[in-house]
Amino acid sequence: MNDYSKMFDLTGRRALVIGGASGIGRASCFGLASFGAHVICGDIDFAKAKDAAQAIKAEGRSAEALRIDLCDPASVAEAGQAVGVPDVLVISPSINVRKPLLDVTDEEFDRVIGLNLKGVFRALKTFAPGMAARGKGSIIAFSSVRAQVVEPGQGVYAATKAGTLQMIRALAAELGPSGVRANVVAPGVVETPLTQQIKQNEAWYRAYADKSMLRRWADPSEMVGAVVYLASDASSYVTGSYLLVDAGWTAADGRFTPPLPQSGAANRL
């Protein structure tokens, strides 16, 4: 008989979280450690990565810090040598340039693509082969609702998030026979440094909150459940998935609330 009480247990597993110094990545580090994983907090900001690891250890859990720059092939290769083969790989870093597509420069395009898409590719190339050779592993990349729905100013960012989704789906198909699972988490609007520009504009901030069914933004901690689920045996038959954590953003129109009749009244429309 299965012991379902242990399906989320990550004891004895090593989880590398790239982008673990802040935002969703940092929250994921704490969440994975809380379920027993030894967490490697990887980030380009090594000082903040060390702070995250020390805070986790202060709670009596296991963690270490690692410097990794997804835009630098040498840095990623060095991280691969230092880490070896993790049981769980989480990839969260992203940047954005919010401007009309036809105003985006070549340099801006390359910068966004270079981290959001090529950086993910580098991480996969470095860590996935060892997982496949071992015959087990869980890869979790962060995409976005922008992989499905867009708005003005999000052209390049949305392209990277759709690209991440399709790249992970292809990898899931390729590595499934080797026992490696690969999935994507797609947040809605989350209170992170990436969304600071929106938070500074009250009308914009409120409009985003009202777009979701819950009428609010998410805290980074609210992405942790999805990460722990996909990292654990609770999702042992889940791969190639696009797990939306968006408070219904993509499920509802949300642009207009129609004047519905009062409860009990006949609706003739």
Amino acid type, 132: A
Q: Which residues are catalytic?
A: 157
Adjacency order of strands within the sheet including 180-187: 63-67, 38-43, 14-18, 88-91, 137-142, 180-187, 242-245
177 exposure class (CB count in 10 Å sphere: 0-12, 13-18, 19+): exposed
